[in-house]
Structures are given as structure tokens and as C-alpha cells.
Amino acid sequence: MTRGAIKVRIAQLLGLSIGDSAYGDPFATDSALNRVTDEFAGPGMDCYWTSETGDVTTDQAEYCAPTMYKLKGAYWLDSSSNWQPLYPSTPQKMDLTVSNWRNNPSNSTLQYIVFEGANRFLLYPTPNFTTSSGLKFEGYAQTNVSGISTWAADATECPLPTWCHEAIVYGAAIDMANQMLTSDDDREVQKAIRVLPVLEGRYRRLRGSAESAAATFYQDVVRASLSPAWAYWSY
């Protein structure tokens, strides 16, 4: 569903019509949608599996994958335009296995991605070349970066899998209904009182289904596609 279609569904569930104050407050709806999609995309739910690319820059060792919070694969583009795997490591492991790595030797062949945080890392060796979109990352990501939604336009499709969409609708509707409880308009308060128990019951079932689908997707699709070096990696 697009963001606009989700907003229409929320209004329908809440019984809102043009003229109702909650209906005319798109910022409240967008805020609710951002919160709920971030919850489904974030740690614990892990519903948003995606990939992103970045540039390789000469003599630059440190990089970041801004939207990612759990990388499960990393690759670099070699001089023959073939994707080569990067092997995950930590500074402590590198100290034990690769001598002199902290002196940042440079090379045209990359080997390791050395994690300094969830999405901050070093490349080893330090690249002595520049390649546009020469890095590719796979993993779980957030739908908002620094408070800015990656799907802010109403015509934009929700980036999460379709099996999350209805749960997102109900989760955002619950947020909106709770806001309606504080309205000065008694009609909106009464609407919220009527619909909240129904919304909450349905949301629990939809959320459980989404969690189950995410776990199945990881086992059947993600884990089966991981290179051996990444199969049991966590950081």
C-alpha cells in the first residue's frame, strides 16, 4: 500500500470524515505512521530486509551504512566489475589474526569489514582506489533516518513487506485513537472509546502474524542466501 492508501484506511477505521479535527491533521497521522513503521522495521521485529550501496573512496578507511542497524552481508566491486565478499570482523579479532592492520595499509583488493558499531565500520585494507557505488550492503534497516522518513510522499509505497501493511494500519490507527481521546470534540472522544478495543484486539493478531512471517522469511530466504562467513555473524 502507498502512504496515502494507508492514511485512507486509518481514517476509515476511526470513522473520520472531512471536518473532523483528527482527519485534518496530516502531521499527526504521519507521525503515527513513522513510529509504527520504525517499530516493525526495528530490532526485535526485523521486518525490513533491504540493500543499499555506497562509494569506495581512495585512502578512506571508515564508512557507514546510514539506514542499517544489522548488516548481514557486504560486498565490494573489483576492477572487473565483479562483486566480491567482505568478511566480517571486529578490532579485537583483527588484533589476533592480522598483524599491522591498525596502521591502515592500502591495497586494491579489499578483504574485511571491521565493525566499530552497528552500522559504522572500517574497510581493510584501506582502498587505494575510488569506485562509485562500489560497496553493497545487505541487512535490516530503519524506515526513518535522523527523524526523516524514507517514504514521506503519499504516493510512495510502504517499503516494508506486504504482510506488515495491515498491522501498520491498525498500529497507527491505535496511536491516532489515543490522540482523539484528548480531543476537545466530544464526538471524537466517543469514537475513540468505541473503536479502541476492536483496534487493539485486531492489532495483536496482525502483529503476531507479522512477527511469524518475519521469522519465516529469515529462515527460508535470508539465512539461505547468506555467505558462510556471515551465516552466524552478529554484532
Over residues 162-194, the pLDDT tens digits come to 999 999 999 999 999 999 999 888 988 999 999
Q: What is the pLDDT of residue 147?
A: 63
Q: What is the pLDDT of residue 48?
A: 94
Query: Does 152 score more than 60 pLDDT?
Result: yes
Confidence of residue 149 (pLDDT cuts 50, 70, 90): confident
Q: What is the pLDDT of residue 146?
A: 63
Q: For residues 59-72, give the mean pLDDT.
A: 91
Confidence of residue 113 (pLDDT cuts 50, 70, 90): very high
- Long-range pairs for 104-107 at CB < 8 Å and ≥24 separation? 104/61, 106/59
Q: For residues 19-28, give the mean pLDDT.
A: 59
Euclidean distance between CA atoms 206 and 229, whole angstroms: 34
Average model confidence (pLDDT) across the chain: 90
Is-contact 55 64, C-beta < 8 A? no
Query: Does 52 score more than 60 pLDDT?
Result: yes
Confidence of residue 229 (pLDDT cuts 50, 70, 90): confident
Query: Does 83 score more than 70 pLDDT?
Result: yes
Q: For residues 192-219, give the mean pLDDT.
A: 95
Q: For residues 74-94, give the mean pLDDT.
A: 95
Query: Does 85 score more than 90 pLDDT?
Result: yes
Is-contact 13 170, C-beta < 8 A? yes
Q: What is the pLDDT of residue 21?
A: 53
Euclidean distance between CA atoms 151 and 34, whole angstroms: 9
Confidence of residue 66 (pLDDT cuts 50, 70, 90): confident
Q: What is the pLDDT of residue 235?
A: 63
Is-contact 140 49, C-beta < 8 A? yes
